[in-house]
Structure 1
Amino acid sequence: MILLIPTAMVLATANCYVVFYREADQSFRRSLISAAILVFLFIAISTEVLGLFNLINRFAVTAGWMVFNAALCATWLKLKSARDMTFGSLAQPWLDSTRNFYRELGPWTVIMLAVLSLITGIVAVMAIPNNQDSLSYHLSRLGYWIQQGNVAHYASHIERSISFSPFSEYVHLHTFLLSGSERYFQLLQWSCLAGILALISMIIRLFSKSLAALRIGLCFAATLPIVVLESMTTQNDLVVAFFILATAFFAFDYTQNNRLTSLYLIPLCCAVGMMTKGTFLFYALPFGGYLLISTVQKPAFRRPSLRKHTAGFVAASLILTLALNVPYWYRTYEIFGSPVGTISAGNKNTFTGPADYVSSVSKHVFLHLGFVSPGNRYNDFLLGQLKNLHGAMGVPLDIPRLGMPFKMNKLNFNEDFAHNFFGIWLVFLSIPLLLFARLPRAAKWYGWLTFLSILIFCFFISYQTYGSRLHIPFFLLAAPIVGLTFGTIVPAWTARLLPFLLWAAALPFALLSSAHPLLSTKWFFEEIFPPINSGLHLNVRIDGANLNLKQESVLHANPGRLFWGDHWPASEALLQRVNALNPQKIGFIFTEASFDYAYQFFLQKPGREFAHVLVGNASKVLEGPAFQPDVIIAEKSEGPGFSYHGKTYGLTVESDGKWLYVPSK
């Protein structure tokens, strides 16, 4: 049944092509992006609707997709009859478009992008999802939603699972129910990256015909280390980046080409983008403002027709965004008294003056400037400059109201912490080039709006050690600017060499992810890297304290070891003990960082139920009084025993930070 999703994509792409883009430039890419947005919208709406009737199950979701495909098919048959079209007649222009795109990129750029896509695609399919956030809350939601038949909130020790935006998990929910497998989870981000690259190529084409700009821009985006690593995970930063770049493209496409289709696709992007991640608002806001100002300033705005379209666009954006997001926000508000929960409150800046804002911006920027060097002298120098800046402003570097304690990165292969060292320097260099390069006025506006977006982000969001992944939309928005500026000014040989250097620097991140490497990192960090580390005095920690640094290849790695690393033997013994008891109902007592999904993965069994018990946050009101666990797994001690819903539980096992409680006889 999983083929229902690609079938819908093909039908939606064909319909969009015939109705909107048959005569347009880049018609195939435009049709594909529009179809993806429509399919995403269907997933968002259908999940909420099915949830209202407690129909989150395999049969209902499959039926929903069948109805959706039937509607798309009926639309196609109607269009086919009215416009004398067949799939065969569509295939030729699509094939011609693909060939033209191949010629524009050139064989070497295509090979470099294909190699990266192939490596990350293999890992995305073969690896068990083991990102820490995914194990804690991204994927753990699915089991409870399916168990209760809806997407209502549930009692949870992990507040993020019932307060953070849910759209990516709605997609995972559909793929799991259609296929019965978790193998498709990581393809969402991988596919969104493909869509992002298509959008970047379209943005560049709005402003320039330069082939060098196209090649540099695409290679810049595809080789960002944090992007490469995240494309193999079930996080959601690439998903939200897809909607942000789509919004930016449609805004400029409308202002440049007056294409009404682009104008009315923006509300769809806003609605689903906000449902994906709150950072959508910060990055999309400048482009929305530019669109409105540009439209109002048009001489044609005096015409009633344009005013009508503008009013319709604003109304559609507000109504659709609210209609799609208010149900989830309301469910969260009922529990926490806030539509976005309370767990993210520590990520907000609290300013007392302009110096605080400079502090926030500087720390976000310096996050990407760190690198390995002999004796760590390079990082020490930069850290010294950052401290001097803060000293001159009279603002402590690590004041809590402005984020986490600051730390200079060296070289990290983890999808939460990898930074974009070469990317940030290319972005810096593109700023003066943007001033002097001979580019269309609209291209320069796009560039300044991109830089404004990160400044808005830094105003609201404080520095975090894992902030690099939150910067993904900015770097991807900047990719067209890097391509346009460098493609316009640098010599031809540099324009050819730069993509290759970026590709070569990105290849290790694709092959040696610390979480799920295609090649064994254990071999690399035990045999190859130690002499380099000691010989150059790089001071990179490669001992056990560096979590998940030495991993086996995902092609033959044990799922449990991918989840728990060196803690797997103790965890395996606990899980075997639980299964030996053959419980029907299992209770969890977790911390915010517990690997909820990992427990569900190994303990799932037909008819078995899971629930969080003795919850300490506001969601405790959702604990079902009828739920009496046959066994309780705890990752924080509850002492030798306790009572819960009329039963007394005693401690039977304590090992490696885990406690097992069973009913006392």
Structure 2
Amino acid sequence: MIFLIPLAIWLGTANCFLAFYNGSPQAFRRSLLTAAIGIFFFIAASTEMLSPANFVNATSIKTAWTILNIALMLLFRRLSKRENVSMPDILKIWSSSGRIFFHDTGTFTNVILCSILTLTFIVAVVAAPNNMDSMAYHLSRLGYWIQNGNVNHYASHIERSISFSPFSEYVHLHSFLLSNSERAFQLLQWGCLVGLLMYISLLVEMLSGKRAAMRVALCFGVTLPIVVLESMTTQNDIVVAFFIVACAFHAFDYVRQTNKISLILLVLAAALGMMTKGTFVFYTLPFAAYVFFFMISKPLQWKPLAFLIGGAVLMMMLLNGPFWYRTYQIYETPIGRMSNGNKNDVSNPANLLSSTTKHVFLHLGFVSPGDRYNQVMMSTLDRFHQFIGIPLNPAGTGMIFKMNKLNFNEDFAHNFLAMWLVIFSLPLLFFTKLSKTACWFAALSFASFLLFCFFIGYQIYGSRLHIPFFLLIAPIIGIVYGSLKIRAFPVLLSLILWLFALPFAVLSTSHPLLSTKWFFEEVFPKINSAFNLNINIGKANMNLKQPSILFSKPEKIVWGDYAEQAAKMRFYVDSIGAKNIGFDFLESSLDYAYQYVLRAPDRHFEHVKVRNPSHILENKTFLPDCIIAEHFEGNQMTYHGRTYVKTWTVTGTFIYVPVN
């Protein structure tokens, strides 16, 4: 019944068109984006409403979606009669506006958009989810929620799974219960990327309206390496970027037109963004201040401002309050403790300079003969820190700074060309004719990045946390480089961005569409030798050599080189007839991978011997038929008065079974 989701989106889009946007040249894009936010709100609210009664199950979720679709159908009948517009009429209007839009974007830009989106769509649908964070905590939550019938916190060795915001996983929960399959999981981020491209196009039309600006902005957004890679995963950085850019657009749209629908969408997007990822706050705050000061300065806007504040508080508490309360019960803080290690030292203002430069230089590394380019860049960064009187890596720094080279992993890939384009755009901004609105948008986009850098310290995987900034600044990049007098420059720039992005779409180290084994054994050695790159692809990084997902079994995609060991573990657990399985995991464990290979009817999983504050949630009556441990507990262990002995082991994993 997974078709209920696209049906709801379709009906929602038609209803939004009839109710709000009929007659607008941007009608389809605005209608679809409004419907998407509405559907996301339905998912979040219905999950929290069903949870207290333990109704988070396939029957309840299917019933909820059926009721939603019936309600949308009835609403469509009413609106279509009122407006005297039928569905075929709507389709003709959308088709006509679509032809105009794609004519304006141009054939070459359309080829770039379609090629990247098609390649990433294929990978997202074909590949089983195997991102490391997803297996550790993004997806591992689902199994416990489903077996418990609610989204309450549970005892877990992996604290991220009970303290990090859950919205993306609520979407995965609904898609799984509707289809009993993971096939649609990675389409969430891919779909949000499509939505982001729509928002970028709307922003360009608002800020400039020039075709060249539109083409460059869209190509810039769709070819960001980290975005390309993440659009094929079950992480949530593109999802939160969707809500951040939505808030930015609707804030400016309201200031421009003072229409109520933008204010409502701003409230909903803000609540959903907070429910997705904590970084939402830093990127959105400048835009929130912008709309606040606009409204407070005009007496006629005081009443809408009261609605905005009251609505934001209400929606924030409705969607986020239950999760914050559950987290507070364990940690005595609504945000848990797992994000503390990323905080920047804000006591010294010079730390803003240090943090910002490190976040920027994170993207500026690249391959070069003898690695000389990176050495020069590293030396430059070190001298800058000496100048401001702060060590590059002060005592207590969580992560030592290092220059990237070239990475095809969705956790570590960086945006080399994009960051240089951003840097070069700064002086060009002074020579580009920008509208007052565009100047404000550019200033607030850069302010959001600085705010992020001020509070969040450097992390080696920080590139994915910068996704919102690059997508926010995409319209400005389009305007700046689309305004250059060299007529062929936008086309040449788009071509370079496209050619640089294509390898990331097909050679992801996690789930490559083309074999990375072939690439690193046949192609890369010649490049490495010809350019004297001195990059060693040896036994230490054999995980780079992966077969194509088109010819890999799902278990192989999930477990990688450990697929054979996982199969043997599954065979042993099945052979002893274990129904109740205890997990004694490390915090970095790939919980979902174990669930994936061990899943079976009537099989129940729980974490045991938990060593963090969530141990208070352990089921005191749970008696596992076996305990799968990543902590070595000796040859025997005791749990709930029962003695377990080690009967099976493989590298880093031990299975204990009860003596009696």
TM-score (norm 1): 0.98
Paired amino acid for 1:526: E
CA distance in 2 between counterparts of 1:285 and 1:564 reads: 40
CA offset digits 1:342-363 (Å, max 9, x no partner):
1111011123312222111111
Paired amino acid for 1:310: L
CA distance in 2 between counterparts of 1:547 and 1:64 reads: 46
Paired amino acid for 2:507: L
CA distance in 2 between counterparts of 1:60 and 1:524 reads: 47
Paired amino acid for 2:243: F
Contact 2:582 2:607 (8 Å CA) reproduced: yes
Residue aligning to 1:576: 571
Residue aligning to 2:261: 261
Matches within 5 A, 1:74-223: 74-223=74-223
Residue aligning to 2:407: 412
Matches within 5 A, 1:463-478: 463-478=458-473
Alignment partner of 2:440: what SS?
Answer: helix
CA-based RMSD of the aligned residues comes to: 1.2
Residue aligning to 1:63: 63
Residue aligning to 1:425: 420
Query: In the alignment, is residue 388 of structure 1 matched against residue 357 of structure 2?
Result: no
* 1:498 Cα offset (Å): 1.0
1:521 aligned to which of 516, 521, 544: 516
CA distance in 2 between counterparts of 1:216 and 1:47 reads: 39
CA offset digits 1:312-354 (Å, max 9, x no partner):
1121112211221011011011111211111111011123312
Paired amino acid for 1:214: M
Contact 1:350 1:402 (8 Å CA) reproduced: no
Residue aligning to 1:296: 296
Change over 3 Å in CA distance of 1:445–1:533 after alignment to 2: same
Residue aligning to 1:498: 493
CA distance in 2 between counterparts of 1:579 and 1:407 reads: 46
Change over 3 Å in CA distance of 1:400–1:175 after alignment to 2: farther
* 1:558 Cα offset (Å): 2.8
The 10-residue stretch of structure 1 (556-565 or 62-71) with the greater mean CA deviation from structure 2: 556-565
CA distance in 1 between counterparts of 2:312 and 2:536 reads: 49
* 1:222 Cα offset (Å): 0.1
CA distance in 2 between counterparts of 1:427 and 1:644 reads: 57
**Sequence identity of aligned pairs in percent?**
53
Residue aligning to 2:584: 589
Residue aligning to 2:249: 249
* 1:311 Cα offset (Å): 1.2
The 10-residue stretch of structure 1 (62-71 or 349-358) with the greater mean CA deviation from structure 2: 349-358
CA offset digits 1:47-69 (Å, max 9, x no partner):
00011110011000000011111
CA distance in 1 between counterparts of 2:577 and 2:539 reads: 35
Residue aligning to 1:446: 441
The 10-residue stretch of structure 1 (21-30 or 184-193) with the greater mean CA deviation from structure 2: 21-30
The 10-residue stretch of structure 1 (524-533 or 408-417) with the greater mean CA deviation from structure 2: 524-533
* 1:490 Cα offset (Å): 4.2
CA distance in 1 between counterparts of 2:360 and 2:433 reads: 27
CA offset digits 1:426-481 (Å, max 9, x no partner):
11111122222111010011001000000000111111000000000000001001
CA distance in 1 between counterparts of 2:396 and 2:244 reads: 28
Alignment partner of 2:539: what SS?
Answer: coil
Residue aligning to 1:23: 23
Paired amino acid for 1:302: P
Paired amino acid for 2:204: I
The 10-residue stretch of structure 1 (29-38 or 645-654) with the greater mean CA deviation from structure 2: 645-654
CA distance in 1 between counterparts of 2:606 and 2:395 reads: 34
* 1:161 Cα offset (Å): 0.3
Change over 3 Å in CA distance of 1:400–1:158 after alignment to 2: farther
Contact 1:350 1:401 (8 Å CA) reproduced: no
* 1:137 Cα offset (Å): 0.5
Paired amino acid for 1:395: I
CA distance in 2 between counterparts of 1:541 and 1:576 reads: 37
Contact 1:348 1:402 (8 Å CA) reproduced: no
Residue aligning to 1:644: 639
Matches within 5 A, 1:200-349: 200-297=200-297, 301-303=298-300, 306-349=301-344
CA distance in 1 between counterparts of 2:462 and 2:150 reads: 32
CA offset digits 1:193-230 (Å, max 9, x no partner):
00000000000000112110000000000000000000
CA distance in 2 between counterparts of 1:539 and 1:330 reads: 52
CA distance in 1 between counterparts of 2:250 and 2:314 reads: 19
Matches within 5 A, 1:368-379: 368-379=363-374
* 1:400 Cα offset (Å): 5.2
Structure 2 gaps, min length 5? none
Alignment partner of 1:155: what SS?
Answer: coil
CA distance in 1 between counterparts of 2:534 and 2:623 reads: 52
* 1:534 Cα offset (Å): 3.2
Contact 1:368 1:424 (8 Å CA) reproduced: yes
Paired amino acid for 1:664: V
Paired amino acid for 1:57: N
Contact 2:647 2:657 (8 Å CA) reproduced: yes
Paired amino acid for 2:502: L
Contact 2:570 2:597 (8 Å CA) reproduced: yes
User: How many matched pairs?
Assistant: 660
CA distance in 2 between counterparts of 1:226 and 1:546 reads: 20
Residue aligning to 1:459: 454
* 1:78 Cα offset (Å): 1.4
Contact 1:371 1:411 (8 Å CA) reproduced: yes
1:631 aligned to which of 626, 635, 638: 626
Paired amino acid for 2:424: L
Contact 2:231 2:238 (8 Å CA) reproduced: yes
Structure 1 gaps, min length 5? none
Change over 3 Å in CA distance of 1:294–1:25 after alignment to 2: farther
Paired amino acid for 2:638: S
* 1:72 Cα offset (Å): 1.2
Residue aligning to 1:53: 53
Residue aligning to 1:42: 42
The 10-residue stretch of structure 1 (367-376 or 11-20) with the greater mean CA deviation from structure 2: 11-20
CA distance in 2 between counterparts of 1:396 and 1:23 reads: 58
The 10-residue stretch of structure 1 (525-534 or 160-169) with the greater mean CA deviation from structure 2: 525-534
The 10-residue stretch of structure 1 (650-659 or 559-568) with the greater mean CA deviation from structure 2: 559-568
Alignment partner of 2:544: what SS?
Answer: coil
CA distance in 1 between counterparts of 2:573 and 2:444 reads: 55
Contact 2:581 2:628 (8 Å CA) reproduced: yes
Alignment partner of 2:616: what SS?
Answer: helix
Residue aligning to 2:538: 543
Alignment partner of 1:128: what SS?
Answer: coil
* 1:547 Cα offset (Å): 6.0
